[in-house]
């Protein structure tokens, strides 16, 4: 399983527009993608409600995981979205 640990730098954290972009990107993947706060329980990265419920704020770290062909590319893109300021 591939994973990325990312520090969220957006002023609004992983909420509103960044969360929507994150979920839309994850939803395009033909395999499961999860996201969790560092040390927390993973949730589906394809669910806007689950991602928003994580309440990820600026400066917090998340772990994004996926398994399947093309997982590294999807995780790289999701990491870019989460890290964007």
Residues annotated as catalytic are: 15
Query: Mapping DSSP to helix (H, G, I), strand (E, B) and coil, where does residue 80 land?
Result: helix
Q: Which two tokens stand for residue 72?
A: 């590294």
Distance CA 58, CA 65 (A): 20
């Amino acid at each position: 399983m591939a994973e990325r640990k990312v520090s969220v730098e957006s002023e609004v954290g992983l909420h509103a527009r960044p969360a929507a972009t994150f979920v839309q990107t994850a939803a395009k993947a033909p395999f499961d993608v999860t996201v969790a706060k560092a040390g927390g329980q993973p949730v589906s990265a394809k669910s806007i409600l689950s991602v928003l419920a994580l309440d990820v704020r600026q400066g917090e770290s998340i772990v994004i995981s996926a398994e399947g062909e093309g997982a590294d590319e999807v995780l790289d893109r999701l990491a870019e979205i989460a890290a964007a300021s």
